[in-house]
């Protein structure tokens, strides 16, 4: 059975956007898989192992990190 990872969206503090690549590497060092680094908006998206505490992932430079929730639309 494949273990489902938890997707996340992390917002980087404005004063640390120039360090966004290093912040993403730090998240990788914590076991995360980085999907996208959006430098202009200061956003990093990725995934972490189930049970990973988002408090642990809120490292220096991260303003906010939360689960990425997929929104379903109804078929009309």
CATH code for the domain of 41: 3.30.70.80
Q: Sorting pLDDT into bands at 50, 70 and 90, what band is 76?
A: low
32 domain-assigned: yes
**Contact (Cβ atoms closer than 8 angstroms) between residue 67 and residue 6:** yes
74 domain-assigned: no
60 domain-assigned: yes
Predicted model pTM:
0.86
List the domain range (segments joined by +) for residue 61: 6-67
73 domain-assigned: no
Question: How many structural domains compose the chain?
Answer: 1
Q: How many CB atoms lie within 10 A of CB 68?
A: 13
Q: How many CB atoms lie within 10 A of CB 5?
A: 15
48: β partners: 6
72 domain-assigned: no
Interacting residues of 25 by C-beta distance below 8 A, sequence separation 6+: none
61 domain-assigned: yes
**Per-residue model confidence (pLDDT) at position 69:** 77
pLDDT tens digit string along 14-66?
Answer: 999 999 999 999 999 999 999 999 999 999 999 999 989 999 999 999 999 99
């Amino acid at each position: 059975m494949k273990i489902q990872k938890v997707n996340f969206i992390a917002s980087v503090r404005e004063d640390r956007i120039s360090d966004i690549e290093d912040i993403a590497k730090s998240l990788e060092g914590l076991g995360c898989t980085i999907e996208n680094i959006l430098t202009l908006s200061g956003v990093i998206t990725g995934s972490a192992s189930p049970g990973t505490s988002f408090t642990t992932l809120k490292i220096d430079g991260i303003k906010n990190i939360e689960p990425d929730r997929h929104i379903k639309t109804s078929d009309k």
